[in-house]
Copies of this chain bind each other. A is one copy, B any other.
């Protein structure tokens, strides 16, 4: 693995493909952290295993696990899923695993962004985050692909989406947050996204999902389903705090064109009713920095948009709500060539994210 410090993917002819382009594999991390995953993480493990199995139907899945958890991971995952040892502070592969870029010959490289637990000492979610921050490079080494060293720029994989045709979508609330790259202007941040993702146009959604602890990652509110088409988390309830956030995104998107000059087609994906954490769930969580990570009744950032697009499936969350089936049908209509697999994901959501957050695709045929 070469560590590339003095060039950019764009300069070298590499771009980040869309998630709906072909993958050779997917990376996940085995959940372990006791202040994220209730009651020792057993329920979360089950959901992670279901996600891994659904994805492994059409691409090779590697689950990274600590030495301590290796045996447990190996025991609960089927033999066609690889388990590799790797240390982390938590289990959000989307945010710590490398962003992969490809060139026209199909060669891949990784990007090693800086990671600071979603806001560092300003508003990060835990301390320390050193093991997470080492992962992207280690994953590239594991797959023997070269890596761009961009640790001087704080970015999580969940805060970017691309159509693979020159358009990148982010949220202002996240990328302009004080805990990321406060010394950089919006234009400078946009320049980095263009240089590293091969983007020509950056779409800046104003906000994300209400109370999303990541400063509202784009991957929880809006995703590309095809070139020129996005799906947006939506509520018709004007009393809901989410209403104005989704509306602001809709209004923004309505006035924008993508890098190819297309007007964007926006599909609304209704949200579930507010999903709140229960007292007995909170009781199963350790403290973090002497404080509870959740309080009974806290609203969780539930959204059906937090899905993963595998080669032959879309793996989406369900919350045990009446709205689950309607959401599944909408997504199935948007992905006619893939089977939409819905997995009960309350136990992932409690950790603070969902299916897209715990996965990272490796592009390629």
Contacts and interface: CB of A to CB of B under 8 A. Distances in A.
B87 A85 contact: yes
Nearest to A71: B134
B82 A138 contact: no
A67 interface: yes
Given A84-B141, A144-B82, A70 B134 contact: yes
Number of copies: 2
Contacts of A1: 79, 82-83
Given A82-B144, A85-B85, A144-B82, A70 B138 contact: yes
Interface string A119-162: 00000000000010010011001101000000000000000000
Interface in A28-86: 67, 70-71, 74, 79, 82-86
Contacts of A74: 137, 141
A2 interface: yes
Contact of A2 (B2, B3, B79): B79
Q: Which of A70, A84, A85, A137 has the most CB of B within 10 A?
A: A85
A82 B131 contact: no
Nearest to A73: B141
Q: Which of A2, A82, A134, A138 has the most CB of B within 10 A?
A: A138
Interface string A86-117: 11000000000000000000000000000000
The range of chain A's interface size is 20 to 34
Nearest to A141: B83
Nearest to A130: B67
Nearest to A134: B70
Contacts of A142: 82, 84-85, 142
Nearest to A135: B85
Contacts of A2: 79
Nearest to A146: B79
A82 B137 CA distance: 11
Contacts of A82: 1, 141-142, 144
13 contacts: A1-B79, A2-B79, A67-B87, A67-B131, A70-B134, A70-B138, A82-B141, A84-B84, A84-B141, A84-B142, A85-B85, A85-B138, A142-B142
Given A67-B131, A142-B142, 15 more contacts: A1-B83, A3-B79, A67-B86, A70-B134, A70-B138, A74-B137, A82-B141, A82-B144, A83-B138, A83-B141, A84-B85, A84-B138, A84-B141, A85-B85, A85-B142
Interface of A: 1-3, 67, 70-71, 74, 79, 82-87, 131, 134, 137-138, 141-142, 144
